[in-house]
Structure 1
Amino acid sequence: MRRSIQSGHGFMRAAAVLIAAAALAGASFRAAAEPGVTDKEIVIGMFAPMSGPLVAYGLDPARIAQTLYEEVNQKGGIHGRKIRVVTEDDKCQPNPLVAAVKKLVTVDNVFILHGGSCTAAVTAAQEFITREKVPLVMLAASGDSGVFPPTRYMFGSFMGTQRAHAAGLTEFAAKTLKAKRLGVIVHDDEYGNSSLATIRSAAERFGMEVVAVERIPLNISDVTAPMLNLRAAKPDAILSGGYPAPSVLIVQKYAEFGMSATPIMLMMQGVPTPSVFAKNVGNEAAFRNLYLSWGPNDLGDEALHQKWINLYKSKYTDREPGGFMIVGVPPAQAIIAALEKAGPNLTRERFVEAMESLELNSELMPGPIKFAPGRRDATRHENVVKFDGVKVTRMPGVYSWNGMDGNK
């Protein structure tokens, strides 16, 4: 009997060892099955316009992001894993972008996606990203349609959505310019609709009256009539939500029609590089009373700006980085912070949860980089700068969108 009991105990011990080994094997299998993650590396799929007319919106931000990843690797990686980046050229067009995303996910088996500089192109991949449950952290894209309504796997708008820029400038007009009557010129598309709804809501909140609204097409070549209508309305300030080419026309007519006594405010989307914008406008009178919304803190802070320029040039010497280079820094910082926060047992779902609970302070941003389960826009705080055609001066204070407007 004693031998039988001992044999039973031996069998149980052996069974326990087998069960434990099976559990460990299962755990190892699950870890190995997580795409883009091994004991030694994390694979990130990056896509951006790396060639063509919009290359400045993608190449420089992508390069500075990769530089930050390489700095992490030099310090030992994240929980012992080095970051490896696989890059694709999306040309800022929907079809090439979707093709790039599908290749990165299904062929290269990346862990997460980091990319996209043009919102319309990024949103074309939203269905695939949602179906495959692969997290995407946008590179430079900041349009409303990428983050409203929020979806689980897409994070972006690190430079501020149209709502953030429109609300920030409206608040600036009310609090700093002491404007009571606001004139508005925006596009007749989704960008314009969202901007206008936010401006109206913010103006009401600050006790301002929107006295004139002009809607213009994207391909407009003459803004004479809308600018004359704005002048006739006699606003205390003008808020422009145009893309770069129409913004040049707007400011040219603003100067030509002798409107420079009235402050004009432009959203960041219309002036990606202030020096180039000034050259295209070609009229000093246009910059006597001109303000821009601006996401990062580098504009007007030469030491901070030069710090990042120098980091870029320490690795890349083939080109002078454009104004959009800095846009690539905050999303890379957020990814690095979320990977750290997700811990060593890394999965896509843990990464999403880490991003959702992220509240990251960066020297480059006027407010925290912050997400939540029902929020996918990274920042709601904006700087405002005065631009005289040569010099940029950051205005005191930070201006923000409170998350409530006529878009809901």
Structure 2
Amino acid sequence: MSKTPIRTLLFGAALALAVAPWPAQAEPGVTDDEIVIGMFSALSGPLMVNGADPLNAARAYYEDVNARGGIHGRKIRTVIEDDKCVPAESNAVARKLIAVDNVFLLNGGACSGAVVALQDLVNREKVPHVFINASGDTAVFPPTRYQFGSIPGTQRSTMAAVVSFSTEQLKGKRLALIGPDDDMGRAAYRFVKAVVEKGGAELVAYEVVPNNATDVTVPIVNVRAAKPDVLMLATYPAPTILVVQKAYEYGLDLPIVSAIQGVSSAPEVFAKSVGDNGALENFYYTVPLAGPLGGPELKPFYDLFAKYNPDRDTPTLTMPYGFPSAMAVVKALELAGRDLTREKFVDALEQVDFDSGIMVSHIKFGPDRRDAMRGQVVLKYDGETLTRMPDVYEWDQIVPPDSPALN
């Protein structure tokens, strides 16, 4: 019987290993039976009102998908963290979700600063990141490969509605704007200028107030001196309340049109804070929702939220914002197929275009589009009754996305 030298056997085994196909490396967060999604939002702290209910709405949608069989034979498992809407915290929890929990993608963020702080991380690590309800312009303009967001609309969306309504419905020719001294305020100002110039109106006053302002007398005096037809606001709730009160006190008898961020978690809370419905006689604000809170359009989503969050009897105004982000994630996972990778998921997400039933416009992404929802409507609010005004305003139908005025 012939004997093969050991050295020859070892060489043959090495050669066989060299040419044999190695098993493909598993994609992070994907197994035969599950997809792991890392979720984070403000679950505590002063901005919890913006973050907790939207995150739990998204989680409810994932649980409902699981109850219906999952996606291509896999169930979704979520890992949830609290970032308090603080950029340093969001960076820490995102790193933990990626490196320790080995998630496939991130679905998180209720505040613009928190998601902007993650741009370098997620694009370097090539981890898809879909915001829950953060909507700041700097998070999506210019677009980056792995971040998708602005479900409720950016400042381009809100201010397109504010200015267009002010000029078209209220027939304003001389407009004034008060905004915050931050990235959102500066984005609002740039877009207002672009829309005003296009529409033939004039911005006769622009005043900036800090988010912690306790007195807005000087801005109101300056606005009154400019004699505008309409006062537009891009401020947050606290300064918006001060502006409305001071305008009424100083007899500034003109329509006030506010971006959505000016009204707190519920209109009735805002009215109570203003204190006198006389100040709201001619007050309007924008919203991205397809129907009124408690109305028939949104009822199925409130029912779904209640099913998976039985302890939340009165969810906040922002709760419905959480559903479309989860819907977009699920649609992209379905499009990407069973052979799932992060790159296939991103490519699929760029094809997503659907009517959520929650927002006034389609949720739509594309190779050069990371802001999901571009429409807003306007509500008139007199402190007691909400009345929807006609028309849906979509910013890219008002100012072309490639307009130099936006840069």
- 1:268 is aligned to 260
- Uncovered stretches (5+) of structure 1, i.e. residues with no partner: 1-17
Residue 241 of structure 1, aligned match among 234, 241, 254: 234
Contact preservation (8 Å) 1:171, 1:400 = no
- 1:354 is aligned to 348
Distance 1:79 1:264 in 2: 50
Q: Deviations over 1:119-151 (max 9, x none)?
A: 112211211111100000001110111111211
Q: 1:54: Cα distance to partner?
A: 1.5
- 1:3 is aligned to none
SS in structure 2 of the partner of residue 225 of structure 1: helix
Distance 1:302 1:388 in 2: 19
Residue 326 of structure 2, aligned match among 320, 325, 332: 332
Paired amino acid for 1:37: V
Contact preservation (8 Å) 2:149, 2:371 = yes
Structure 1 residue 251 corresponds to structure 2 residue 250: no
The change in CA–CA distance for 1:381 and 1:405 in structure 2 (over 3 A counts) is farther
- 1:37 is aligned to 30
- 1:169 is aligned to 162
Distance 2:386 2:149 in 1: 27
Distance 1:387 1:372 in 2: 35
TM-score by length of 1: 0.90
Paired amino acid for 2:330: I
- 1:6 is aligned to none
Instruction: Let me know the Cα RMSD of the aligned residues.
Output: 1.7
- 1:60 is aligned to 53
Distance 1:93 1:321 in 2: 23
Q: Deviations over 1:17-76 (max 9, x none)?
A: x99x955x63xx33xx20001111110000011112221211111111111111111111
Contact preservation (8 Å) 1:186, 1:196 = yes
Contact preservation (8 Å) 1:197, 1:405 = no
Q: Deviations over 1:247-304 (max 9, x none)?
A: 1111111222222x41111111221422221111111112111111111213367122
Contact preservation (8 Å) 1:367, 1:380 = yes
- 1:216 is aligned to 209
TM-score by length of 2: 0.91
Paired amino acid for 1:177: L
The change in CA–CA distance for 1:198 and 1:405 in structure 2 (over 3 A counts) is farther
Q: 1:406: Cα distance to partner?
A: 2.5
- 1:130 is aligned to 123
Q: 1:174: Cα distance to partner?
A: 1.5
Paired amino acid for 1:308: F
Q: Deviations over 1:285-344 (max 9, x none)?
A: 121111111112133671223332232222223232111111101111111111111111
Q: Which runs of 4+ in 1 moved over 4 A?
A: none
Distance 1:52 1:345 in 2: 40
- 1:312 is aligned to 305
Residue 148 of structure 2, aligned match among 155, 170, 182: 155
- 2:395 is aligned to 401
SS in structure 1 of the partner of residue 357 of structure 2: coil
The change in CA–CA distance for 1:103 and 1:59 in structure 2 (over 3 A counts) is same
Q: Deviations over 1:159-202 (max 9, x none)?
A: 01111111121111121111111111112222221111110110
Contact preservation (8 Å) 2:233, 2:240 = yes
Distance 1:184 1:405 in 2: 21
Q: 1:218: Cα distance to partner?
A: 2.3
Distance 1:132 1:340 in 2: 23
Distance 1:185 1:111 in 2: 42
SS in structure 1 of the partner of residue 39 of structure 2: strand
Residue range with higher mean Cα deviation, 135-144 or 359-368 = 359-368
The change in CA–CA distance for 1:300 and 1:94 in structure 2 (over 3 A counts) is closer
- 1:343 is aligned to 337
- 1:8 is aligned to none
- 2:377 is aligned to 383
Q: Percent identity?
A: 47
SS in structure 2 of the partner of residue 317 of structure 1: coil
SS in structure 2 of the partner of residue 185 of structure 1: strand
Paired amino acid for 2:262: G
Structure 1 residue 371 corresponds to structure 2 residue 365: yes
Paired amino acid for 2:263: V
Residue range with higher mean Cα deviation, 45-54 or 131-140 = 45-54
Contact preservation (8 Å) 1:300, 1:393 = no
- Uncovered stretches (5+) of structure 2, i.e. residues with no partner: 1-15
Distance 1:272 1:86 in 2: 29
The change in CA–CA distance for 1:363 and 1:208 in structure 2 (over 3 A counts) is same
- 1:180 is aligned to 173
